Amino acid sequence: MSKIKEMKNNSFPKATLEEWEEQAEKALKGKPVSKLYSDTYEGITRKPIYTEKDTKAVQQAIKSKTDWSVSQQLYPATSLEETNARLKQELAEGLHTIHFSTFPASDPLALSITNKDDLEMLLKEISLDNLDIQVYTGEDATPILRALHESNLQSSKLKGVIGVDPIGELAVTGMLIQPLDELYDLMKTNVEWKNTHAPSLKTIYLQASPYHHGGANAVQELAAVMSSAVEYLHALTKRGLSVDEAASEIVFSFSIGSDFFMELAKLRAARILWSNIVEAFGGSKDVQNITIHATTSKFNKSNLDPYVNMLRTTTEAFSSVVGGADSLNIDSYQLGEDTFSRRIARNTHYILKEESFLSKVADPAAGSYFVEHLTSKLAEEAWKLFQQIDGIGGMVKALESNFLQDQIDAVKKKRLQDVASRKKVLIGTNMYANIKEDLKEPELAKIIERSDVYPAVKIRAIKPVRLSQFFEDLRYQAKAAERRTGNTPSVTLINLGALATHKPRTDFASGFFQVGGLAPVISPSFENLNELVSWVEKEKIAGHLCICGSDDTYAELLNESLSILQAPNRKIMLAGLPDTPRQEELKTLGVSDFIHMRSNCYEQLFTIHQEMGLAEHEA
């Protein structure tokens, strides 16, 4: 028993940062610790270790409420009757919030609710007493508020948000039907209506998704939505509302990506920024508290190997909750309306609530040196960009001058380059593709564009993209060619040397070609070039070839193998990257290209598709 007491009284010796760095450099075999540093898309440097010194003068972002509402966006069905039936079923299975977009929102998943009959059908036999409602209406909420006013629904009991974000619509569509001043007048009128008829509703639903899905980093997202919020505060206070009245109307909606710590820090930084902005406007302590809705991102989702999306949304949901979201929408892994995948998405909430107990802890990330530092740094950098936007004349001026679009485009370009070169890995898409997957090219929903009207405001839109779309195009293109010809597009891998020596590059090459929808046809292991000659003649090898082997095997067998393989009906590639003089020599011997870890995988596969004549289905 005395040994147990002695053990309890013992403690580990306190190590200094210098001692840790000394041990780390030993493990790195003399390389400096700075080799472990990495830079984010936000321009923030991540260190391998943080200490209390990194959290000095950090403003806290603590959220007192621990739980969150289970939200799930309704997708359009064949009829509103069908949508109503699905909604009732999902409410019985754990849904807390009625969440949808509607006319005139540009959201491709918007429901067509244009009058009171539509709204009554959607909500038929559903009690709204204990439910929140989240409705995004684009640039103008008047159509649905009119439908609500004329309906037999008890609007006085409604809680949540039926809200607009005209600047967000302008960003994603590049146009507004009405001038902003007129839309701001309508915003004020809607506030007056709700004060009388639905006092618990909020009427501004500020969307970060136009910037997030356009490729923006977290700093740009934060600066954009805070700049928009300031425009709305100015507009409403100019029209007679108090700062408290205007600020209390705003709900922020953030899309959450796959960078776990950055995304949770983004929500915590938003809390700091909004508090500081409202305080600067003279708002009270109560309205300095931000209301955040989070939704899993579409930016990093793929139609290929969709079960991986389930893992992505789980991580994003975890980030959202730890970051302090008040409500959370988890998209289905199928990116569609099928019952099973929507149920899986809702169940994810309850795993986080009931099994991980995240609903029982206030601000789980508080106190982490890394998270506190990252939150502070994000808020600081977002504030700098916010000030730049303010200096231009505000958010609208920043969009009209293309200032924000140019900044976001630069980040988007870097993200897409990283996916193309596989520096950024999308499992099942640009790495570890399932070549046997039964591909059915989906009809992807697109932003709803109004071509029937003349825009009152027009800018260069921030078009949404998905990181996976270019590799998806290659896969669909290859599959279309297979259906046209009855033959799977393929690349023959010529293996030189013993299995153990060529296997690493054979495996690499197989995976490389598979992400482009090209099936690897793997040869035997050739240690004797006479066997290679016999096999090539017997199998009548033609088309695209890739030689795989170790550097030592290449030194011994490669030149002679090239003389054997070179023919007008063959295109020869090499797995590996020799030094420049050797590359030039090999090109004279018939090698057309080299595939390796630093390759731009997408560009090389795109070229191969063109050479194979697969491009009828444009990638």
Q: Which DSSP helix (H) or strand (E) runs through 256?
A: strand 250-256
DSSP 33: G
pLDDT of residue 528: 92
What percent of the chain clears pLDDT 90, i.e. is strictly above it? Answer: 82
Both tokens assigned to 434: 């399932």
Q: Is the pLDDT of residue 482 over 70?
A: yes
**Residue 567 is which amino acid?**
A
Query: From CA 608, how far away is CA 158, in angstroms rounded?
Result: 57
Query: Which residue from 291, 290, 289, 356 is spatially nearest to 317, judged by alpha carbons?
Result: 356
Q: How far is CA 37 from CA 40, 45, 46, 217, 340, in A?
A: 10, 7, 6, 19, 42
Say if residues 258 and 312 touch (Cβ distance below 8 Å). Answer: yes
Say if residues 319 and 264 touch (Cβ distance below 8 Å). Answer: yes
Sorting pLDDT into bands at 50, 70 and 90, what band is 563?
very high
pLDDT of residue 619: 45
pLDDT of residue 566: 95
Q: Is the pLDDT of residue 447 over 80?
A: no
Say if residues 523 and 495 touch (Cβ distance below 8 Å). Answer: yes
**Residue 444 is which amino acid?**
L
> Taking residues 383-387, what's their average pLDDT?
98
Q: ∠ at Cα 368 (366, 370), nearest 5°?
A: 125
Query: From CA 605, how far away is CA 435, in angstroms rounded?
Result: 15
Sorting pLDDT into bands at 50, 70 and 90, what band is 448?
low
Q: Is the pLDDT of residue 380 over 70?
A: yes
Question: How long is the chain?
Answer: 619
Q: Which DSSP helix (H) or strand (E) runs through 482?
A: helix 469-485
> Taking residues 536-561, what's their average pLDDT?
96
pLDDT of residue 387: 98
- How many CB atoms within 10 Å of residue 71? 24
Q: What is the average pLDDT score of the chain? A: 92
pLDDT 10s digits, 62-89: 666 789 999 999 999 889 999 999 999 9
Sign of CA dihedral 254, 256, 259, 262: positive
Sorting pLDDT into bands at 50, 70 and 90, what band is 441?
low
Query: From CA 203, how far away is CA 313, in angstroms rounded?
Result: 28
| 331-358 residues labelled b (16+ CB within 10 A) or e (exposed) | bbbbbebeeebbbbbbebbeebbeeeeb
Strand partners, 546: 493, 573
Query: From CA 349, how far away is CA 356, in angstroms rounded?
Result: 10
| Domains observed in the chain | 14-49 (no CATH), 74-357+395-408 (3.20.20.240), 471-612 (3.40.50.280)
pLDDT of residue 145: 95
Q: Is the pLDDT of residue 194 over 60?
A: yes
How far the first Cα of the chain sits from its last, in Å, is 72
Query: Which residue from 82, 137, 81, 72 is spatially nearest to 110, judged by alpha carbons?
Result: 137
pLDDT 10s digits, 6-45: 766 677 777 888 988 889 999 999 899 999 999 999 999 9
pLDDT of residue 453: 61
